Structure 1
Amino acid sequence: MLDLYARVWDGEPLGEHDYVISSDEKTSIQARCRCHPTLPPGCSRTMRVNHTYKRRGALAYLAAYDVHRANVFGRCEDTTGIVPFARLVEQVMTQEPYASAERVFWIVDNGSSHRGQAAIDRLAEQFPNAIMVHTPVHASWLNQVEIFFSIVQRKIVSPNDFTDTDEVAARLAAFETHYNRAAQPFKWKFTTADLADLLARLDRYERDHDQPDKTTAQARAA
């Protein structure tokens, strides 16, 4: 996965017609309608958000982020799952340049929508030029789409004052259009060399702490 971010696969550079997609779901974005209007910041006054609200439903936001072109393709669904994720894949893979690409690598975590070999086989059957690559377990933070989701959380979802889910979906779509006009690829700095160094340090730590205390060992021997 880190090699793909550096445009390498199996030790070989990616070709001109190879693409890397980072994908995931942002679940349960709630529409909370505040009982009193949110007041914007003013002179010597921070934003004021009423703590009382009515729940107006929730939706899931599925997104696919082109790592090297900084393009986002998103859609809102009632829930996550295998079928909604397949619709996102179809949305991306049926348009250019992905439809005629040599290879399109899909980086995903181990969520139930795209877990395991079954998900890899489904994707390959759906689109033969698509290759699914899973993040390590408990390492979904390595998935670059999570950075985009954090931007969405700060700029769109917070402070969460929406009349209904239609307004949430409209705001997400408008932001997606704006983002694709202005965004640049993320400056990813965690490389395979950094990973090797981290693993070496963890290995040294474990070896040092697995060694029994010399005094305790001598006492046991006695």
Structure 2
Amino acid sequence: MVATLESTPENATHWSRSKMAERSGLSKSTVGRIWKAFSIKPHRTDGFKLSNDPFFVEKVYDIVGLYLNPPESAVVLSVDEKSQVQALSRSQPAFPMMPGMPEKRTHDYARHGTTSLFAALNVVDGTVIASTHRKHRAVEFKKFLAKIDAQVPEELDVHIVCDNYGTHKSPTIVSWLARHPRFTMHFTPTYSSWINQVERLFAEVTRELLQRSDHRSVQTLEKDLRNWVKGWNENPKPFIWTKTAEEILESLGRLLKRINGAGH
């Protein structure tokens, strides 16, 4: 385990079972069992980028507070745009799944245009307000805010959690918000999309619809996106947030210590 975590093999970036077996004198199967027991997977890697937001701590407390203790007489909406969703048609028909053989699809395809899915996820009940637009400028975001305003009962305040994309802070949006005082914007820290719950919704629509989609026009893609959201709202599933702000900050603190300890 020490060798796995603190060294690399000669002429390689990470350990394999065969290289570690040669290094340790153990069998490859034994190396595999030890790694499995400690949940170590040297062949895998994930990406990350730490936030450089000077108000990171304050924003984490603000947004997590909304998730764990939503204000009364208000709705909390996690908002973002899934931009550049492509209408793709595969070059050949797919081979259907059969016993012992997964579905097979060609890797090449034709592009037929793009659209953007605007979504507002109610963090309490899991319902979604959504729209599709061919562009995602300030004018489209203002239209989406107007749609939210029309669909949320007027007696409720509206708290919007969104990222720092320029259109969300443009003069057009600032002016619109000034005329709609029941709306309050809560901006996520930079490089912290993980704190915006709507990203989980986008992961679901990607997995269930877009990953294997076959659309020969933007219109059919947009229709399927609207139908997917409609189906979601028939049986909405909120994503239950469990970590407190303190737990998140402690976890990041441990990560920073590990990074500094590795000499980066």
| TM-score in terms of structure 1 length | 0.81
> Is it true that 1:31 corresponds to 2:125 in the alignment?
no
Deviation by residue 1:83-111 (Cα, 9 ceiling, x = unmatched): 111111111111232x331x210000011
* Counterparts of 2:249 and 2:103, CA distance in 1: 45
Deviation at 1:75, TM superposition (A): 0.9
Structure 1, 68-77 or 118-127: larger mean CA deviation:
118-127
How far does residue 120 in structure 1 lie from its aligned partner after superposition?
Answer: 6.8
Unaligned segments of structure 2, at least 5 residues: 1-62
1:152-198 CA distance string (max 9 Å, x none): 11111012311111111111111111111112211112221212423
Residue identity opposite 2:144 in structure 1: L
Inter-partner Cα distance in structure 1 for 2:172 and 2:243: 27
Q: Which residue of 2 aligns with 1:214?
A: none
Q: Quote the offset at 1:61 in angstroms.
A: 0.8
Matches within 5 A, 1:76-115: 76-97=132-153, 99-101=154-156, 103-115=157-169
2:88 partner SS: strand
Alpha-carbon distance between aligned partners in 2 of 1:119 and 1:150, rounded to the nearest angstrom: 30
Tell me if structure 2 keeps the 8 A contact 1:123–1:132: no
Q: Which amino acid aligns with 1:62?
A: F
How many residue pairs get aligned? The number is 198
- In structure 1, list runs of 5 or more residues that go unmatched: 9-13, 210-222
Alpha-carbon distance in structure 1 between the residues aligned to 2:112 and 2:76: 36
1:134 aligns with one of 166, 177, 187: 187
Higher strand share: 1
2:76 aligned with 1:4? no
Deviation at 1:141, TM superposition (A): 1.5
> Runs ≥4 in structure 1, deviation > 4 angstroms?
none
CA drift at 1:201: 3.8
After superposition, residues 44-59 of structure 1 pair within 5 angstroms as 44-59=100-115
Deviation readout 1:43-63 (Å, 9 max, x if unpaired): 222112122322111111111
Shift of 1:113: 1.8
Q: In the TM superposition, what whole-angstrom CA distance separates every residue of 1:12-33 from its partner, at most 9, and x where no partner exists?
A: xx11x21100000101111111
**1:50/1:201 Cα in 2 relative to 1: closer, same or farther (>3 Å)?**
closer
- RMSD between superposed Cα atoms in Å: 2.1
TM superposition shift of 1:123? 4.6
SS in 1 for 2:107: coil
Give the conservation status (yes or no) of the 8 Å contact 1:109–1:115: no
In the alignment, is residue 174 of structure 1 matched against residue 205 of structure 2? no
